[in-house]
Chains A and B, each alone.
Chain A
Amino acid sequence: MEPLQALITQIQGLSSSASDISRLHSILKQADSSLRSDPDRLSPLLSNLDPSLHSLGFLFILEASLVFPVSKQQAEISVPIITRFISACSAEQIRLAPDKFISVCKTLKDQVTLLEAPIRGVAPMLTALRKLQVSTERLTPLHSEFLLLCLLAKCYKTGLSILEDDIFEVDQPRDLFLYCYYGGMICIGQKHFPKALDLLHNVVTAPMSTLNAIAVEAYKKYILVSLIRHGQFSTSLPKYSSSVAQRNLKNFCQPYIELANSYGTGKIAELEEYVQANTNKFESDNNLGLVKQVVSSMYKRNIQRLTQTYLTLSLQDIANTVQLNSPKGAEMHVLQMIQDGEIYATINQKDGMVRFLEDPEQYKTCEMIEHIDSSIQRVMALSRKLATMDEQISCDHLYLSKAGRERQRYDFDDFDVPTRFNI
């Protein structure tokens, strides 16, 4: 009891100024292993500490006290403690020990999952994420945990809030893979297909030295979403994607590639037959819902194609061309698409004719100008960022030493330089 009591006193005493806290940090690090040896006695001590004032100490003791696996009852007790700590703790202090903080947050996730109440973790996790994050461009390990909780709790809207930030800085590639994959799923859930496509695209084209399961699953969804969004899918990945992905991804997603091929023929009956025959495969991948959306998107695409060729067309003809059962069904589809702004048309119920119109957007409104302006601003900001990044890399020590080595071999001009000037 004695050393622990002393530790508590130290925590209480050394939690005010920055220099004190760094001293405390080293003391805590030394005490860490002894804390771990006896996790049961720690929880009562927490009541002596104020999470907002003594965040660092609280964090160390809390982290040491949390062992896994726990029973449901224990989880019921610890979840509120963690939640309170996360909402009260001071960001500066916990950033000194990010590993501990992340571990605590992961425990929270595990416990709420154990309690089958993932929604209880969503809000604390978001707070934790914001506190840990130095800038919004940085990806933390908590991002993927948060998105996972959102998915489990079906709080897609909350999840979207962090997907709006542009992520540029990444510590662990795995975090990025998961972040993009879960993010993609959340966007799919909210039917933000372009955004979902971007995120999944990031996973598939990310540099990787070995193939991973996340990329494979993401590729499957990527195929489906790009069918829904663009109505086509090209199996060749862009040049910049890793050679591992280019070579191997396709082999793992054969049913999906075939689905895309079947989609490409434009024949709805064939597509449905294929889906029917492979329902099990899609179901075991948990992609059946998305596959069904692919099928229904084909009707839409076929109708959209008609708007390119026809000015007027009877509902009967539409039904025949896109292989719907009845003119009534065609009418419903067309109506829905007009409502969603996917086509511009009017239905003349008297003659059973649909009149397709041109896109009424004239690019003259103030909103449009504002939109264009904001796009320009955004692109300019991005360009600036690109330039800074380029500058940074060209000053980067590691890069220069590597590039310098390579240049020696290839650049003939370098041979004129006396040897002592070589980098």
Chain B
Amino acid sequence: MEGDDETSGPMIDEIYANGDDNRPRKPIYSGDQLDIEVYASLYTGRTKIMRLLFVADRCGEKNNTAMQLEALRMAFDEIKKGENTQLFREVVQKIDGRLGSGYDLDVAWAENVDRRAEAKKEKLENELNAYRTNLIKESIRMGYNDFGDFYYAHGQLGDAFKSYVRTRDYCTTSKHIIHMCMSAILVSIEMGQFTHVTSYVSKAEQAPESLDTITVAKLRCAAGLANLEAKKYKLAARKFLETGPELGSHYNEVIAPQDVATYGGLCALATFDRTELKNKVIDNLNFRNFLELVPEVRELINDFYSSHYASCLEYLGNLKANLLLDIHLHDHVMTLYDQIRHKALIQYTHPFVSVDLNMMANAFKTTVAGLEKELEALITDNQIQARIDSHNKILYARHADQRNATFQRVLETGREFDRDVRSMLLRSNILKHEYNVRASRKL
């Protein structure tokens, strides 16, 4: 085990103590219900609404009506501030009169908004046409950009994306290009088109002028999200870890700094080895700023690194309910959790020649039989080199006999070579024969 020289001495004792909770430590944050007010206040714009609706849907599935209605109520209020009547109708339908008369379908408002939107669209069209006849590049760009903003505000994401992308031909400075990229990224994330996100991130990063730190941080986040969605957890972790603290709350329309900590932390835990975890996460000053925002994640990473698996897993268990309510992470929670658990099991067994399964089960707060099954899967996957003595409930590390393995491999390779060459000779002879036959037929 590398990078933990300082813990190697007292480690045995700690592992003994691992299962018992008599160590003085802070009470673990309970998995209290998500405080929706606090949660929603982290975000702005469309993502706030979408996140609230997602929470509402999830709660609806679990029959958590109080929370669902709370989320819907806030979404309703939020939408009322904007101009997205389509979404407004959907939410009203979801509320279904359960929040009293204040939350019914406000037809007058919706029509009013629609009418204004129509008028604005016409105005924008006229303007754009005028710009286009005059061929003023900058104005055309602004015109398309306005169109993009307009469509975005009204929830027509596809059109918004097209309009933003169209500004590209009229970009004159790299600042414009970056603006275009950022808008495209924002819309793509909302649409869930993460391949677009990746391509526009790389486009923005190629800009000739150096970007300001906030933009860099935003791009890192967007790339991280794209990798997360593509299940490339390691890359996602790297991107989130590279995110600078300048991000602050500047990217609230997409991601909150708390999310950076959670996403990055979990992905890193699931995919990094110990040295990487130490160097890139725990000793990473930038990322520490983010971790401070979510103490649970910070604690569980430290627990994991210092081999307090039980409390680490407990933290994870408590966080789980809330993570499942996250619009981006919910699909990946189970995979990440499994990977983290597997890593914990592997790391636990790694330094030992033999491990008492009872003790290990205790450390992981599980039963011996369950642990045996988990270990069996890992051994079959060749992730742990060990064998289980099921009779005495002991796990023995298995040291591959290099000499025997080499002999085996050599003989196997010899056989393969023998077989392959023979069938190759045979095939070439047939080919030769067929070619000759064909050639003689031609003559």
Contact = CB atoms under 8 A, between A and B. Distances in A.
A173 B434 contact: yes
A379 B417 contact: yes
B389 A311 contact: yes
Contacts of B425: 168, 385-386, 389
Interface stretch (A16-24, A29-37, A102-110, A200-208): A200-208
A5 B403 CA distance: 77
A209 B422 CA distance: 21
Interface stretch (A80-88, A272-280, A312-320, A406-414): A312-320
Nearest to A312: B391
Nearest to A168: B425
Contacts of A416: none
A340 interface: no
A317 B390 contact: yes
A76 B418 CA distance: 46
Given A362-B404, A379-B418, A398-B439, A201 B387 contact: no
Given A351-B391, A362-B404, A176 B428 contact: no
A4 to B, nearest CB: 37
Interface string A332-373: 000000000000000000010100101101110000000010
Contacts of B346: none
A309 interface: yes
B411 A398 contact: no
A361 B404 contact: yes
A314 B390 contact: yes
A166 interface: yes
Contact of A363 (B387, B404, B431, B432): B404
B388 A309 contact: yes
A305 interface: yes
Contacts of A386: 421, 424-425
Given A167-B426, A361-B404, A198 B419 contact: yes
B418 A382 contact: yes
B423 interface: yes
B435 interface: yes
Contacts of B146: none
Nearest to B431: A207
Contact of A201 (B389, B415, B423, B439): B423
A166 to B, nearest CB: 6
A184 to B, nearest CB: 13
Contacts of A310: 376, 387-390
A389 to B, nearest CB: 6
A174 to B, nearest CB: 11
B79 to A, nearest CB: 47
Contacts of B414: 375-376, 379
Interface residues of B, number: 39
**What interface size band does chain A fall in?**
35 or more
B379 A206 contact: no
Contacts of B436: 398
A389 B422 contact: no
A168 B433 contact: no
Given A168-B425, A382-B418, A173 B433 contact: yes
B429 interface: yes
A309 B418 contact: no
A383 to B, nearest CB: 8
Contacts of A421: none
Given A359-B404, A378-B418, A379-B418, A170 B426 contact: yes
Contact of B388 (A311, A361, A398): A311
A167 B435 CA distance: 19
Contacts of B17: none
Given A198-B419, A363-B404, A363-B407, A311 B387 contact: yes
A210 interface: no
A171 interface: yes
22 contacts: A198-B419, A207-B434, A240-B427, A305-B380, A308-B387, A309-B375, A309-B379, A309-B387, A310-B389, A310-B390, A311-B389, A317-B390, A351-B391, A359-B404, A375-B414, A375-B418, A378-B418, A382-B422, A386-B421, A386-B425, A398-B435, A402-B435
Given A168-B422, A170-B433, A206-B426, 4 more contacts: A173-B434, A198-B419, A206-B427, A385-B425
Interface of A: 166-171, 173, 176, 198, 201-202, 205-207, 209, 240, 305, 308-314, 317, 351, 353, 356, 358-359, 361-363, 372, 375-376, 378-379, 382-383, 385-386, 389, 393, 396, 398-399, 402
A-B pairs with lowest CB-CB distance, top 3: A312-B391, A363-B407, A309-B379
